[in-house]
Structure 1
Amino acid sequence: MTKAAEIDIASVSKIYGHTTAVHAISLKIPAGSYCCLLGPSGCGKTSTLRMIAGHESISSGDIRLGSKVVTDLPPARRGTAMMFQSYALFPHLDLVDNVAFSLKMKGVEKEERRRKALDMLKLMQLEPYATRRPAQLSGGQQQRVALARALITDPEALLLDEPLSALDPFLKIRMRAELKKLQTSLGITFVHVTHSQEEAMALADIIVVMNDGRIEQAASPRTVFERPATAFVARFMGDHNVISGRTVETDANGITIEVNGGGRFQAIDGKGEIGEAADIAVRTDRVRLRETAYAGLGFTGIVQNVEYRGSSVKIVVNGAGVEDFTVIISDTEYFATPVKPGDAVPLSWNADDAIVLGRIQH
Structure 2
Amino acid sequence: MSKAAEIDIVSVSKVYGTTTAVHAISLKIPAGSYCCFLGPSGCGKTSTLRMLAGHEGISSGDIRLGNTVVTDFPPARRGTAMMFQSYALFPHLDLVDNVAFSLKMKGIAREERRAKALEMLKLMQMEAYATRRPAQLSGGQQQRVALARALITDPEALLLDEPLSALDPFLKIRMRAELKKLQKTLGITFVHVTHSQEEAMALADIMVIMNDGRIEQAASPREVFERPATAFVARFMGDHNVLSGRVTSNGDGVITMTAPEGQVFFVRGTGRQAGEAVDIAIRTDRVRLAQSDDKGFGFNGVVSNIEYRGATLKITVVGAGSDDFTVIASNDDEAVKSMAVGDAVSLSWAREDAILLGRMSA
TM range (shorter): over 0.9
Code of the residue aligned with 2:176 in structure 1: it is: R
Match for residue 181 of structure 2?
A: 181
Aligned equivalent of 1:315: 315
Judge which range, 164-173 or 255-264, deviates more.
255-264
Mapped contact 2:289–2:335 kept (Cα < 8 A): no
Displacement, 1:312?
1.6
In the alignment, residue 315 of structure 1 is paired with which amino acid? I
Distance change (3 Å), C-alpha of 1:16 and 1:166? same
One-letter amino acid of the structure 2 residue matched with residue 162 of structure 1: E
Corresponding residue of 1:237: 237
Residue 71 of structure 1 corresponds to: 71
Counterparts in 2 of 1:270 and 1:181: CA distance versus 1, 3 Å:
farther
State the Cα distance separating 1:296 from its structure 2 match. 1.0
Pair 1:290-2:285 in alignment: no
Contact map agreement 1:91 1:135 (CA 8 A) in 2: yes
Task: Provide the rounded CA distance (Å) in 2 between the counterparts of 1:58 and 1:91.
Answer: 32
Q: Match of 1:128?
A: 128
- Summarize the alignment of residues 159-174 of structure 1 with structure 2, pairs less than 5 Å apart: 159-174=159-174
1:353 deviation in Å?
Answer: 0.2
User: What is the letter of the counterpart of residue 95 of structure 1?
Assistant: L
Percent identical among aligned pairs is 76
The Cα shift of 1:69 comes to 0.4
Matched residue type, 1:344? A
Task: Tell me what 1:111 maps to.
Answer: 111
Distance 1:155 1:217 in 2: 27
Contact 1:13 1:20 in 2 (8 A): yes
Q: Give the corresponding residue for 1:210.
A: 210
Q: Which residue of 1 aligns with 2:83?
A: 83
CA apart distance, 1:334: 5.9
Shift in Å at residue 294 of structure 1? Answer: 2.0
Greater mean alpha carbon deviation, residues 332-341 or residues 36-45: 332-341
Give the distance between the partners of 1:17 and 1:336, measured in 2 at CA.
Answer: 54
Deviation at 1:310, TM superposition (A): 1.4
User: Aligned pair in 2 of structure 1 residues 31, 234: CA closer, same or farther (>3 Å)?
Assistant: same
Counterparts of 1:179 and 1:108, CA distance in 2 = 28
2:262 counterpart letter in structure 1: G
- Structure 1 residues 258-289: Cα deviation after superposition (integer angstroms, max 9, x where no partner): 11111111112454111000000011100000
Contact 1:293 1:346 (8 Å CA) reproduced: no
Which runs of 5 or more residues in structure 2 are unaligned?
A: none
Q: Which moved more, 1:331-340 or 1:262-271?
A: 331-340
How do 1:325-344 residues align onto structure 2 when only pairs under 5 Å count?
325-333=325-333, 337-344=337-344
TM-fit CA distance, 1:293: 4.2
Task: Describe the SS at the equivalent of 1:345.
Answer: strand
Q: Secondary structure at the match of 1:289?
A: coil
Distance across 2 between alignment mates of 1:193 and 1:321: 34
Q: Establish whether residue 257 from structure 1 lines up as the match of residue 257 from structure 2.
A: yes
Where does the alignment leave 5 or more consecutive residues of structure 1 unmatched?
A: none
SS in 1 for 2:146: helix
SS at 2:332's partner residue? helix
2:247 maps to 247
- Mapped to 2, the partners of 1:240 and 1:260 lie a distance apart of 19
Cα distance in 2 between the residues matched to 1:333 and 1:165: 37
Alignment: residue pair count: 362
Looking at structure 2, the residues matched to 326 and 255 of structure 1 have their Cα atoms a distance apart, in angstroms, of 23
In 2, the alpha carbon distance for the partners of 1:212 and 1:16 equals 14
Once the two structures are TM-superposed, the CA of residue 253 in structure 1 deviates from its matched residue by 2.7
Matched-pair contact (CA < 8 Å) for 2:244–2:321: no
State the TM-score, normalized to the length of structure 2. Answer: 0.98
- How far, CA to CA, are the matches of 2:265 and 2:271 in structure 1? 14
Please give the residue correspondences for 1:31-46 in structure 2 after superposition, counting only pairs within 5 Å: 31-46=31-46
Matched-pair contact (CA < 8 Å) for 1:259–1:322: no
Maintained 8 Å contact 1:9/1:63: yes
Residue 21 (structure 1) aligns with: 21
1:215 and 1:320 map into 2 onto residues whose CA distance is 29
Contact 1:293 1:347 in 2 (8 A): no
Q: Say if 1:37 and 1:208, in contact at 8 Å, map to a contact too.
A: yes
- CA distance in 1 between partners of 2:292 and 2:242 (Å): 20
Query: How much is the aligned-residue C-alpha RMSD, in angstroms?
Result: 1.1
The match for 1:200 is 200
Q: Deviations along 1:118-169, whole A, 9 cap, x unmatched?
A: 0000000001000000011110000000000000000000000000000000
Call closer, same or farther: CA 1:285–1:334 in 2, change over 3 Å. farther
User: TM-score, normalized by length of structure 1?
Assistant: 0.98
Instruction: From the superposition, tell whether residues 276 and 8 of structure 1 become closer, same or farther in structure 2 (CA, over 3 Å).
Output: same
Counterpart CA distance in 2 for 1:107 and 1:281 is 57
> Do the aligned residues in 2 keep the contact of 1:205 with 1:220 (CA within 8 Å)?
yes
Q: In the alignment, is the contact (CA less than 8 A) between 1:83 and 1:146 conserved in 2?
A: yes
Alignment of 1:43-62 (within 5 A): 43-62=43-62
